[in-house]
A and B are shown apart, each in its own frame.
Chain A
Amino acid sequence: MSTSANQPGTPVKMMPSSAAPKKPAAPVQKEDAMWLQKEMINRNYDELATAHETGRKVAATFVPGNLNELVMCFDFARSLPETNALQNGMRKKSGKMIMDAERDGHSEDVCTYVKADLGMMLGGEIGPTGQKLPTPDLLLLSYTGCFTFMKWFELIRQKYNCETVMLHTPYQGDGKISQNMRDYVVKQLKQAVIPALERVSGVKFDIDRLRQYMKESAKAEDDLVKVLQSAKNRPSPIDGYFGAVYYIGPMFTAFRGTPEATQYYDVLRQEIERRVAEKKGPITPEGEMAEEKYRLVVEGPPNWTNFRDFWKMFYDEGAVVVASTYAKVGGVYDFGFRHDPEHPLESLADYCLGCYTNMNFPQRIDMICKYMDQYQADGLLINSIKSCNSFSAGQLLMLREIEKRTGKPAAFIESDLVDPRYFSSANIKNRLESYFQMIKQKRSVAAGAAAVH
């Protein structure tokens, strides 16, 4: 799983301001959120490409449990293999990479993010922007919410011999974060992670620097939550899934804690607030969505190889996603958690422990039910990802439970993240169309019943 689709050269139009081909092109506003994001991401890929030339060390880590503030304290350039994989998916490069990895001995059954990454390595490590990505100096194995992460970095280590440090985040099996879990993570930070970061970077840890980054994080998190929660409005000014993958980009990847990210979220929030005031709907790659007909909650990551076609199936029908669990994989902020500079390490622990896929099933179900209620959704759609047992194993029970608890219709489709072989456009379209019909019918039955009473 991962985030940040918004990269230079990405075929999908940047959100939110440039995505309006049906209208005369608006003059480019340099301060627009999308430009800020584009610049940040450009710079990060440049930094990565030149890191070793400029004497910088490179750390790679995962989106869930991403300790960006901490890693920045040691001046690392930061790489996120999940993001590289999804970028390659969007640029239609992942199919070949996956097949290359399979030819190299990797099973067709396992997570395609891993294979896209390994396939990219086999192809000379050329990243999504065409620049050569550096071999990481440190693999920070933030082991949060997915067992595959461990194998992924072990596989990279096997090939590249990079130093690897494990940060094991215990699972919320009981649906809560206990002091024991928190202490365990903090101790690992102190005794394993920070010493490794110091050793590899040659930079001494400065907790005040960490606090400073965390202050920035908290500000940006406030704004991100406001942006995501703007979808409670009718019409929703954003799409909380297809649009949100852009909004969460900087937060979930290499930028959380930087002043640039804070600025980005400030600008983004203001843009969205304007849209709310003007009662505008979300911007899609084909312009503003005309009429909001269906409000959905979505569980599961998106498909990246056919991202635009997939999104189109929704906006063509007037369906907007008002909330998604995927927008919480790199941190659940909308129930109050913020990075806390007063308790930096404990707060990093709580952050890791609280990521969406580290929550147990009853918690995940509760969260979706809350979304259905608070965002006045018409139904739930599950996009079940073949690659991802962490998300997908058990989703059919989720579907039943949520239908039972909310009385609202739920639908189930299957695809994959970055393997184009598992995106069946016609099937998914059919399924969605009949789902929207079902919602409509339910509504008219409910309206009929209300008229009778």
Chain B
Amino acid sequence: MSQQIAGTPSGVGAIVARCEQLFEDLHFNAVKQWKAAAPGRKAIGFMPIYVPREIVHAAGMLPVGIFGGGDQMEVIQGDAYYQSYICRIPRSTLEMGLTGRLDCLDGMLFPSICDVIRNLSGMWQILFKDKYVRYIDVPQNYLDSVGGEFYIHEMQELRDDLGKLAGKAITDDALRASIAVYNDNRRAVQDLYAYRARKPWQAPTSEVYLVIRAGMVLPPEEHTGLIREYLISCEKENRPKRDNARVVLTGSFCEQPPLGLIKSIEMAGCYVVDDDFGLVHRWLLDEVPATGDPLQELSKAFLHRSNQQASKYDEKKEDKGKLLVHSVKFYGAEGVIFAAPSFCDPALLERPMLQDVLARQKIPYTAFKFAENTGQMAPIREQAGTFADSIKLWSAA
């Protein structure tokens, strides 16, 4: 996989501009370029929340995160497939597929996250018959001998399929190497999040978000480099520090809010110090050993050291909201913003339980819904502003 693209920009402005360009390009030219750089290269799309990208990477392929069409793309055909009461990401994703924007992908992976994406996997099989399509099931039982074995088997099937597609089997060594590449990437992403939490005025979320989204289309090696450069360049900047409220934003793990909405929250006086955008980069919480049996290690990391989110079962009542509360404490947040896509069953069903946990911990929160093409920012800005003010008042009292 390519390490460097000639002329990688430096300086915060240039880096962010490049990320923004990648983010806005719904024709995925970066993917096309990557494929064109060597014969026989293939790219595999995946939807939120999590797929073991290491397996795709080990097949010599580029994993490409498909996170909807955002607010710039008109959805016409996609709407004809969905009733008004279904969220927007499947429509815009279908729109991209039906208008040829995803032709550069040789396959699509649909993770086990909700009924909408689950059903979309079958729709994709029908609509895009010449593409590789796979539903990625993940275990809700966390015993190595039960859920673990099931998951290893599922990963093995993906590995076999991609091996066939690539024309050569994926070796354990290739997998270990890919695990190491993603460990590097995870470390970089963690550093980015830690830096933002330390100095949110230096690394605003509207930028961090774009840096994260760049990782959906860039090879991981290049993305890691880009994060590192961003961090170095950020540190050189001298940006004004404001008396903003520090908040954790949660609920946006699938359909993404428009960039304008993230900016609005910041402009309203909030520093977002943690979020669940692009959670695939942070799904596994720490290093996956790159020495043992690769699928076993990936499985163990998933079962025992992975993120907590609405589509994943909490075995015990006491576990509910644990990671959110931890994140509030760890990143020094003063409140939580629940920002969920309209009609998102997982996020919206989870919300009252998390709010309960926060209330018991006396952590303030506010909640709103969005769609990826929400255009009216004023109400959200106002709500976030009021929330930030109340936090400030509350902490001053």
Instruction: List chain A positions with a Cβ less than 8 A from chain B.
Output: 104-107, 109-111, 114, 141, 143, 146-148, 150-152, 154-155, 157-158, 161, 164, 166, 168, 170-171, 173-174, 180-181, 183-184, 187-188, 191-192, 360-365, 384, 386, 389-390, 392-397, 401, 414
Residue from B80, B127, B143, B343 having most chain A Cβ neighbours under 10 A: B343
Q: How far is the CA of A416 from the CA of B352 in the complex (A)?
A: 23
A389–B86 touching, CB < 8 Å:
yes
Cβ 8 A contact of B137, one of A111, A173, A390: A173
Q: In whole angstroms, what is the CA distance A107 to B145 when docked?
A: 38
Contacts of A110 in B (CB 8 A): 345, 348-349
Is B308 at the interface (CB under 8 A from chain A)?
no
Contact for B123 among A104, A158, A192, A397, CB less than 8 A: A397
Nearest-neighbor residue (CB-CB) of B355 within chain A: A105
* CB<8 Å pairs between A and B, sample of 6: A111-B345, A114-B349, A147-B113, A158-B317, A184-B139, A363-B122
Add 5 more A-B contacts to A180-B150, A361-B119 (CB < 8 A): A155-B349, A158-B356, A188-B141, A390-B119, A392-B83
Contact check: which of A146, A154, A173, A181 meets B320 at CB < 8 Å? A154
- Shortest beta-carbon distance from B152 to chain A in Å: 9
Cβ A154 vs Cβ B353 within 8 A = yes
Interface residue SS majority, chain B = helix
Q: Is A171 a contact of B135 with CB atoms below 8 Å?
A: yes
Q: Is B121 an interface residue (CB 8 A)?
A: yes
Q: In the complex the two chains form, what is the Cα distance from A439 to B313 in whole Å?
A: 46
User: Is B301 on the interface with A (CB-CB < 8 A)?
Assistant: no
Report whether B146 and A192 are in contact in the complex, using a CB–CB cutoff of 8 Å. Answer: yes
Nearest A residue (CB) for B142:
A166
Given the known inter-chain contacts A110-B345, A110-B349, A161-B317, please indicate yes or no for A394 contacting B134, CB distance below 8 A: no
Q: Could you give, for residues 126-165 of chain B, a 1 whenever the CB lies within 8 Å of some chain A CB and a 0 otherwise? A: 1100000011110111010111011001100100000000
CB <8 Å contact, A151 and B115: no
Q: Which A residues are CB-close (under 8 A) to B369?
A: 107, 109
Given A180-B153, A393-B90, residue A148 in contact with residue B345 (CB < 8 A): yes
The count of A-to-B residue pairs whose CB atoms sit within 8 angstroms is 165
Give Cα A155 to B349, complex, Å.
Answer: 8
Q: Does B112 contact A (CB under 8 A)?
A: yes
Residue of B nearest to A186 (CB): B146
Cα–Cα, bound, A271→B320 (Å) = 51
With A150-B140, A393-B116 as contacts: A109 and B344 at CB distance below 8 Å: yes
Is B169 an interface residue, CB under 8 A from the partner? no
Say yes or no: A109-B85 contact (C-beta < 8 A), given A151-B310, A166-B313: yes
In the complex, are the beta carbons of A173 and B134 less than 8 A apart?
Answer: yes
> With an 8 A cutoff between CB atoms, is B346 at the interface?
yes
How many angstroms between the C-alpha atoms of A378 and B278 in the bound complex? 47
Interface contact A170-B150, CB-CB below 8 Å: yes
Give the complex CA separation of A395 and B122 in angstroms: 11
Shortest Cβ gap from A432 to chain B (Å)? 18
Hey, which bits of chain B sit against chain A, CB under 8 A? 80-83, 85-86, 90, 110, 112-116, 118-123, 125-127, 134-137, 139-141, 143, 145-147, 149-150, 153-154, 157, 310-311, 313-315, 317, 320, 340, 342-346, 348-353, 355-356, 369
Contact assessment for A171 and B350 in the assembled complex, using a CB-CB cutoff below 8 Å? no
The smallest beta-carbon distance between A405 and chain B, in angstroms, is 11
Contacts of A151 in B (CB 8 A): 310, 345-346, 349-350
- Bound: A449/B349 CA distance, A: 54
Chain B residue numbers with a CB within 8 Å of A364 are 122
Q: Name the distance in Å between A140's Cβ and chain B's nearest Cβ.
A: 14
Q: Which residues of B are found within 8 Å of A148, using beta-carbon distances? A: 115, 345, 349
Provide the residues of chain B in CB contact with A161, threshold 8 Å: 317
Flag if A360 contacts B352 (CB, 8 Å).
no
Q: How far is the CA of A158 from the CA of B83 in the complex (A)?
A: 32
Q: Are A192 and B135 in contact (CB under 8 A)?
A: no
When the two chains form the complex, which single residue of B115, B311, B356 contacts A390, counting CB atoms closer than 8 Å?
Answer: B115
Judging by beta carbons under 8 Å apart, are B85 and A184 in contact?
no
Q: Are A147 and B122 in contact (CB under 8 A)?
A: no
Contact A394 B349 (CB under 8 A): no
CB-defined contacts of B118 to chain A, threshold 8 Å: 147, 171, 173
**Contact: A150 with B313, CB < 8 Å?**
yes
Q: What CA separation (Å) do A104 and B112 show in the bound complex?
A: 29
Q: Within the assembled complex, what's the spacing in Å between the Cα atoms of A184 and B140?
A: 11
User: CA of A184 to CA of B146 in the docked complex: distance in angstroms?
Assistant: 6
- Would A183 and B83 be within 8 Å (CB), given that A107-B348, A361-B122 are in contact? no
**Cβ-defined contact, B353 with A173, below 8 A:** no
CB distance from B197 to the nearest CB of A (A): 29
Residues of A within 8 A of B154 (CB): 180
Q: Is the CB of A147 within 8 A of B140?
A: no
Given contacts A147-B115, A362-B125, A394-B123, contact A168 B345 (CB under 8 A): no
CB of B112 within 8 A of CB of A171, answer: yes
Chain A min CB distance to B306 (Å): 15
Contact of A392 among B86, B315, B355 (CB under 8 A): B86
